[in-house]
């Protein structure tokens, strides 16, 4: 079909191609169980407290949600020691990023970020008729803050910094981030996408809330999809100064976050046991998995998230397909133009063991060398 009727900027976009649904893979390959290490989901399922709260919330499904998610914002406000009016909740971090772009980007505005990174920044920039300014990550697969500073001009509106970065798992050096923020001119807003911030394994590392409280022009974005295990219910949020959040409030749809997700998020925030377990197990399993993958001859970048960025040193799409037949899904990085890299979610101990067994069985590199 021709695209004459389309909004012109929409013709530049491609519909998201989702990973294969677990149900389809099972049916096609006749497998009982699929282990998905492709989407950075929490391997322990949702928090039991969240499940209970969501079951209760279902009973009120005929009612619209409380529009602003005030209870959740209050809880988040006390967690970060900021005013709840500085927080905005949306239908997942993805939706929040779309809202930020819709609120800030005028046609012709430039939006800077490094690649490879989360694709949502590019999508919303193109849709708003802005210009994506894409800078390669540095040799350590980290956002190149110096290069971003050099790319700022009068047209720059937003800078996205994905920290930890998806798909590389790297973080920027904390002192460098602060030095960078000091140099950003007043017509530019910095969006810190911190979907994995809770997994950062560095004591006292400063993140979005610290920078917002220090008065930097920062909006930080977080999600309940990763640490909190609520990817399926869709809920995320952004926070910044009241001035920075106001335009996002103006474009937010009235009921951006649904009643069930909201109840789940409120309960999950209080489930310290689940949170600690997730973070502890991720840390332990990461250490083990990195060692084992390196022993198999793969290059693994240092990670501060719940996934690893692995150079498999062979065609990652072929290996992905071979692993799928063994019931394991990983994410090849070919969409980012990286032919031998894959992003592999750190699973439970048992899932990771299955992954390693399957890799030993199907890897071309291992069987031919
Ligand atoms: C997963 C992810 C998101 C999206 O989270 P949702 O709340 O599920 O939409 C945003 N940014 C990054 C970097 C992510 O990896």
Which pLDDT value is given to residue 368? 59
Task: Compute, in angstroms, the gap from residue 223 CA to the centroid of ligand 1.
Answer: 6
| Average predicted confidence (pLDDT) for the chain | 95
Task: Compute, in angstroms, the gap from residue 196 CA to the centroid of ligand 1.
Answer: 8
Residues 6+ apart with CB under 8 A from 211: 177, 178, 181, 192, 218, 220
Task: Compute, in angstroms, the gap from residue 37 CA to the centroid of ligand 1.
Answer: 15
Residue 236: CB within 6 Å of ligand 1? yes
* Cα separation, 364 vs 298, whole angstroms: 12
**What residue spans of the chain are helical by DSSP H?**
22-29, 48-58, 70-80, 93-104, 120-127, 145-151, 174-183, 208-213, 242-251, 259-270, 272-295, 316-325, 349-362, 364-368
- 285 pLDDT tier (thresholds 50, 70, 90): very high
Task: Compute, in angstroms, the gap from residue 40 CA to the centroid of ligand 1.
Answer: 9
Q: Looking at the CA of residue 305, tell me the nearest atom of ligand 1.
A: 15
* Cα separation, 349 vs 147, whole angstroms: 39
**Helical axes 272-295 vs 349-362, angle rounded to 10°:** 20
Residue 6 has pLDDT above 80, yes or no: yes
Residue closest via CA to ligand 1's atom 2 equals 195
- Residue of 165, 226, 257, 343 best suited for mutating to test ligand 1, as the one with most atoms within 8 Å of CB: 226
Q: Determine phi and psi for 9, rounding to 5 degrees.
A: -70, -25
Residue 162: CB within 6 Å of ligand 1? yes
User: 144 pairs with which residues across the strands?
Assistant: none
User: 51 pairs with which residues across the strands?
Assistant: none
Which pLDDT value is given to residue 32? 87
DSSP string, 92-150: SHHHHHHHHHHHHPPTT-EEEEEESS-THHHHHHHHTT-EEEEEE--TTS---HHHHHH
User: 192 pairs with which residues across the strands?
Assistant: 161, 220
Residue 166: CB within 6 Å of ligand 1? yes
Q: Looking at the CA of residue 39, tell me the nearest atom of ligand 1.
A: 1
Residue 225: CB within 6 Å of ligand 1? yes
pLDDT in tens, 300-309: 989 999 999 9
Residue 281: CB within 6 Å of ligand 1? no
Which pLDDT value is given to residue 364? 73
Q: What is the mean pLDDT of residues 207-218?
A: 98
* Cα separation, 140 vs 169, whole angstroms: 11
Task: Compute, in angstroms, the gap from residue 89 CA to the centroid of ligand 1.
Answer: 14
Residue 92: CB within 6 Å of ligand 1? yes
- 331 pLDDT tier (thresholds 50, 70, 90): very high
Report CA-CA distances (Å) from 256 to 54, 78, 188, 230, 246: 17, 22, 26, 16, 16
Which pLDDT value is given to residue 58? 98
Task: Compute, in angstroms, the gap from residue 93 CA to the centroid of ligand 1.
Answer: 5
Task: Compute, in angstroms, the gap from residue 193 CA to the centroid of ligand 1.
Answer: 8
Q: What is the mean pLDDT of residues 88-108?
A: 98
**Helical axes 272-295 vs 259-270, angle rounded to 10°:** 80
* Cα separation, 268 vs 313, whole angstroms: 39
Residues 6+ apart with CB under 8 A from 82: 209, 212, 213, 239
Scored b (16 or more CB within 10 A) or e, 175-207 reads: eebeebbeebeeeebbbbbbbbbbbbbeeeeeb
Which pLDDT value is given to residue 289? 98
Q: What percent of the chain has pLDDT over 70?
A: 98
* Structure tokens given for 236: 């995320």
Residue 34: CB within 6 Å of ligand 1? no
Residue 281 has pLDDT above 70, yes or no: yes
Residue 93: CB within 6 Å of ligand 1? yes
pLDDT in tens, 14-58: 888 776 778 888 888 888 889 999 999 999 999 999 999 999 999
Residue 195: CB within 6 Å of ligand 1? yes
Q: What is the dihedral of CA 294, 296, 298, 300, to 10 degrees?
A: -30
- Residue of 42, 94, 234 best suited for mutating to test ligand 1, as the one with most atoms within 8 Å of CB: 94
Task: Compute, in angstroms, the gap from residue 195 CA to the centroid of ligand 1.
Answer: 6
* Cα separation, 87 vs 91, whole angstroms: 14
In angstroms, how far is the first alpha carbon of the chain from the final one? 48
CA atoms within 13 A on the CB side of 283: 11
Residue 125: CB within 6 Å of ligand 1? no
With CA atoms as reference, report the closest residue to 265 among 83, 80, 71: 71
- Are 144 and 163 in contact, with CB atoms under 8 Å apart? no
Residue 369 has pLDDT above 60, yes or no: no
């Amino acid at each position: 079909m021709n695209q004459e009727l389309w909004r012109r900027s929409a013709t530049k976009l491609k519909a998201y191609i989702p990973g294969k649904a677990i149900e389809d893979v099972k049916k096609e390959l006749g497998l009982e169980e699929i282990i998905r290490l492709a989407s950075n989901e929490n391997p322990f399922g949702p928090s039991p407290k969240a499940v209970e709260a969501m079951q209760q919330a279902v009973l009120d499904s005929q009612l619209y949600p409380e529009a602003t998610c005030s209870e959740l914002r209050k809880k988040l406000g006390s967690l970060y020691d900021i005013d709840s009016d500085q927080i905005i909740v949306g239908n997942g971090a993805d939706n929040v990023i779309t809202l930020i772009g819709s609120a800030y980007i005028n046609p012709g505005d430039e939006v800077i970020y490094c690649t490879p990174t989360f694709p949502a920044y590019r999508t919303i920039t193109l849709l708003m008729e802005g210009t994506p300014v894409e800078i390669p990550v540095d040799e350590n697969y980290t956002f190149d803050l110096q290069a971003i500073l050099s790319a700022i001009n009068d047209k720059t509106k937003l800078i996205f910094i994905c920290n930890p970065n998806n798909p590389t798992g790297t973080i920027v050096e904390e002192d460098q981030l602060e030095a960078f923020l000091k140099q950003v001119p007043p017509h530019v807003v910095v969006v810190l996408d911190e979907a994995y911030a809770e997994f950062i394994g560095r004591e006292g590392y400063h993140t979005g809330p610290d920078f917002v409280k220090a008065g930097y022009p920062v909006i930080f974005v977080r999600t309940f999809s990763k640490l909190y295990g609520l990817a399926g219910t869709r809920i995320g949020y952004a926070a910044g100064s009241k001035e920075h959040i106001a335009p996002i409030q103006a474009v937010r749809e009235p009921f951006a976050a649904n009643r069930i997700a909201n109840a789940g998020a409120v309960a999950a925030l209080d489930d310290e046991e689940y949170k600690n377990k997730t973070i502890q197990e991720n840390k332990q399993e990461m250490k083990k998995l990195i060692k084992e993958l390196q022993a198999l001859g793969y290059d693994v970048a240092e990670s501060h998230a719940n996934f690893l960025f692995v150079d498999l040193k062979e065609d990652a799409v072929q290996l992905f397909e071979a692993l799928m037949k063994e019931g394991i899904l990983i994410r090849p990085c070919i969409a980012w133009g990286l032919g031998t890299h894959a992003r592999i979610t750190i699973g439970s101990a048992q899932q990771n063991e299955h992954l390693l067994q399957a890799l030993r069985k199907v890897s071309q590199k291992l069987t031919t060398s």
